[in-house]
Amino acid sequence: MSGKVAMTDTPIKYPWWYGGAGGIFACIVTHPLDLAKVRLQTASPPKPTLLNMIRRILQQEGPRGLYAGLSASVLRQCTYTTARFGCYDIIKENLIPQSEINNSLYLLPCSMLSGAIGGFVGNPADVVNIRMQNDSAHDPHLRRGYRNAFDGLNSIVREEGFYKLFTGLAPNLIRGVLMTASQVVSYDVFKHQLATKFGMDPAEKKTHFAASLLAGLVATTVCSPADVMKTRIMNAQQHHESAVRVLWRSVQTEGVLFMFRGWLPSFARLGPNTILIFLAVEQLRKYRVGMSG
């Protein structure tokens, strides 16, 4: 995300936690769509539609079921999203020359490193998040029954060992890199292009909305394969099943296109999520929340 709302000689340095705060706001609003996406990615054929999945959740679990695992989702935003957005802004502000601040050749390596850091930091919360969101979809004897995110973390360490918190780390790192590169860099680039080539005001909400919507489309498509793999590995009941084995079995039974399974619900969730994150961050910047002076 561009760290400037006006052309100044000295760029403004905003608090590193803005991205995480925006992520928490977006996650609370879009959690039901994220839940439906996770359930679709692990559902057995024939694949239900997004609306049918939401209807099934409401029928079987009631309205509260749409917010299953919310505490883990919020914890994930506090770790994964805060780390990747914060690192991106810090690295960009301190390492990229001001004359190249909108150059994607500089922004991409910065975003990829930030995404990897976020993927690593957020992996434990992501494991709990996936399990809690999908728990009621299992047969009763297979349900884990975590009361909240911290109970889930404690249960995993106690019953399966500390390293189980980093299940699916490889696809999660890949997804973190892809998500950050496709989401924040796309937003920066689209926002700059809309302002310079289409004459849109970079400080207006309609510019932020258009740039974030386009960034959401890019991010959903780029991240879909890693997202599906990550979900299946973290949700697997067989504790020592490798990523390669999960991939091979899925390709054999469903074909290569399984990697884009749930694209529509992914975009239905990630599109609004991306828009809400950047709108929230831009408002935090506009009013300089948490900044002195």
What the block records as the tokens of 239 is: 């504790």
CB atoms within 10 A of CB 30: 22
Distance of CA 226 to the CA centre of its chain: 12
Residue 3 scores a pLDDT above 60? no
237 confidence band (pLDDT: 50, 70, 90) = low
Q: CA-to-CA distance for 87 and 100, rounded, in angstroms?
A: 18
Q: CA-to-CA distance for 42 and 62, rounded, in angstroms?
A: 20
Q: How many residues does the chain have?
A: 293
User: How confident is the model over 74-91, as pLDDT tens digits?
Assistant: 999 999 999 999 999 999
For helices 104-134 and 169-180, the axis angle rounded to 10 degrees is 130
239 confidence band (pLDDT: 50, 70, 90) = low
**Minimal CA–CA distance to 129: which of 143, 148, 115?**
148
**Minimal CA–CA distance to 117: which of 82, 152, 77?**
82
**Minimal CA–CA distance to 91: which of 180, 197, 23, 166?**
180
Q: CA-to-CA distance for 206 and 186, rounded, in angstroms?
A: 16
DSSP letter (8 states) at residue 47: P
Mean pLDDT comparison of 127-131, 139-143, 225-229, highest-scoring range: 127-131
Q: CA-to-CA distance for 89 and 81, rounded, in angstroms?
A: 12
Q: CA-to-CA distance for 80 and 236, rounded, in angstroms?
A: 22
Indicate the average pLDDT of the chain: 88
What the block records as the tokens of 17 is: 């936690």
Residue 134 scores a pLDDT above 90? no
Beta strands in 179-243 (DSSP E): none
pLDDT for position 264: 83
Architecture of domain 18-286: Alpha/alpha barrel (1.50)
Residue showing tokens 């990829």: 112
Q: Where are the domains of the chain?
A: 18-286
- Top-confidence residue, 67 or 9: 67
Query: Helix, strand, or coil here: 247?
Result: helix
Element (H, E) at 229: helix 205-235
- Top-confidence residue, 231 or 40: 40
